[in-house]
Amino acid sequence: MLHLPAHMPVDGFWSLSIHQIEKTGAFFADNAIHRWSINPYTPGLRRNADESLDIVIQRDRPEEKWVANWLPQPELLDRTFHYPAIERLD
């Protein structure tokens, strides 16, 4: 799960998307709900009481209350890759 603070210091539109790498390039990863990105305008997006936002990034459908915040990702073939931590770059 990716937790975003209530008031992100952005001066414009943001979006988080999942891509898969093919021999011919990077493409949106197909998934059961045909969602390729999450952004502030994603229908039904559920914010926390403090207005922060949790985005669920996983292959399997989460419990119903999290579906609007779910960004499906393809399954890793051998499950040996570990995503690196997100780092702030200034």
Q: What is the DSSP string of 7-21?
A: S---SS---EE-EEE
The span from the CA of 46 to the CA of 51, in Å, is 9
The amino acid that residue 30 corresponds to is D
pLDDT by residue for the chain (90 residues), tens only, comes to: 899 888 877 777 888 988 777 778 877 877 889 898 999 899 999 999 999 999 999 989 999 999 999 999 877 666 666 777 878 777
Q: Read off the pTM.
A: 0.73
The amino acid that residue 33 corresponds to is I
Q: CA dist 88 to 6, 34, 63, 78, 85, Å?
A: 17, 30, 30, 29, 10
